[in-house]
Amino acid sequence: MASVETWAIVVAAGEGTRLGSDLPKAFVGLGGKPLLAHAIELLDDHPAVDRIVLVVPAYVLATVLTYVLYIVAFLGALFALATGRYPRGFRDLSAYCLRYQAQMFGYLLLLTDHYPTLASGAGFTHERRQS
């Protein structure tokens, strides 16, 4: 008989407005840690759970990437002031963040039916119109 794994699915969705926060619900603090961290720790310590699947909506990920972009831009500017060059890795990470945001807003505003992808590079490719 094949072994059976138990997977726990954590849906990190929702706004924190009822909790009195501007942050997404998953990132609202409780006892010095985000709510999401509490859920993951409880499931990780549970003996019956073999794997944890985290479901994060595209908008939440885009919000996190926005903060990453701010930090990378600030650090990159400091580095550029000191050395006269903007680091290639910072440039690539900034482009990734902007690309994902563009995909997410395109999907959110119904400009495309392609769900944002985490793939690096060009992301999704545009379909060619048949003439």
Per-residue pLDDT tens over the stretch 6-32 = 988 888 777 777 878 887 787 888 889
**Mean pLDDT score across all residues of the chain:** 83
Residue range of the domain that includes 34: 7-55
- Indicate whether 65 and 90 sit together in one domain: yes
What pLDDT score was predicted for residue 5?
Answer: 87
What's the rounded Cα separation, in Å, for the pair 32 and 118? Answer: 29
Residue 1 forms part of a structural domain: no
Contact (Cβ atoms closer than 8 angstroms) between residue 103 and residue 116: yes
Amino acid symbol at 63: T
* Predicted confidence (pLDDT) at residue 104 exceeds the cutoff of 90: no
Q: What is the mean pLDDT of residues 98-111?
A: 87
Please count the structural domains in the chain.
Answer: 2
The pTM of this model reads 0.56
Question: What pLDDT shows up at residue 54?
Answer: 78
Both 42 and 104 in one domain: the answer is: no
Ramachandran bin of 69, using left for φ above 0, alpha for ψ from -120 to 50, beta for the remaining angles: alpha
Q: Which helix (H) or strand (E) holds 10?
A: strand 7-11
**Residue among 59, 60, 70 nearest 93 (CA):** 70
CB 38 within 8 A of CB 46: no
Residue 2 domain flag: no
Q: Are 18 and 75 part of one and the same domain? A: no
